[in-house]
């Protein structure tokens, strides 16, 4: 299935683009998506999204169609979903 990815804040800087369209296995969950994107991009994006155990960091934030979708909560993504990927920021 096909998803539209939007990168925000530090994730955008690390991915080097505002977003992209990707293919992922049907039934994939947000945690699978985060792992796939981290693997595809590697480098800084991977280190931002994944901890040393290769699991999404607690701080990695995903929203699906405008609704926050925590990685630790099981949820199946659907073809055509718009997924935003972001990290907590505190710039003041």
Partner 1 sequence: MSAEEPPDLTDEERATYEWQMWVEDFGEAGQRRLKNASVLVSRVGGVGGTAAYYLAAAGIGRLVLAHGGDVRPSDLNRQLLMTHAAIGTSRIASAEKRLRELNPRLDIVAVNDQVSDANASGLVAQCDVVVACAPRFSERLAMNRAAVQQGKPLVNCAMYDLQGELTCVLPGRSACLACLTPEEPPTWKREFPVFGAVAGMIGAMGAMEAIKLIAGIGQPLAGRLMMIDLRTMVTRTMTIARDPQCPVCGVKAER
Beta carbon nearer to partner 1, 23 or 67: 67
- Find the binder of partner 1 among 43, 59, 78, 80 (CB under 8 A): 59
Residue 57 engages partner 1 in binding (rule: CB under 8 A) = yes
Closest separation in Å from C-beta 62 to partner 1: 10
Q: Does 6 contact partner 1 by CB under 8 A?
A: yes
Counting contacts by CB under 8 A, is residue 12 touching partner 1?
yes
Cβ partners under 8 Å of residue 80, min gap 6:
1, 2, 3, 4
Q: What is the spatial distance between Cα 90 and Cα 92, in angstroms, rounded to a whole number?
A: 6
Would you give the DSSP letter of residue 17?
S
* Inter-CA distances, 92 with 21, 48, 60, Å: 32, 21, 20
Residue with token string 């539209």:
4
- Give the residues lining the site for partner 1 (CB under 8 A): 6, 8-10, 12-13, 18, 48, 57-59, 61, 63, 66-68, 70, 84, 86-92
């Amino acid at each position: 299935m096909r998803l539209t990815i939007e990168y925000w804040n530090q994730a955008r800087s690390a991915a080097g683009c505002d977003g992209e369209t990707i293919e992922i296995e049907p039934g994939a969950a947000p945690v699978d998506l985060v792992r796939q994107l981290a693997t595809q991009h590697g480098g800084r994006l991977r280190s931002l999204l994944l901890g040393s155990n290769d699991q999404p960091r607690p701080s990695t934030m995903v929203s699906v169609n405008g609704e926050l979708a925590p990685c630790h909560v099981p949820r199946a993504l659907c073809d055509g979903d718009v997924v935003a990927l972001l990290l907590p920021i505190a710039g003041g």
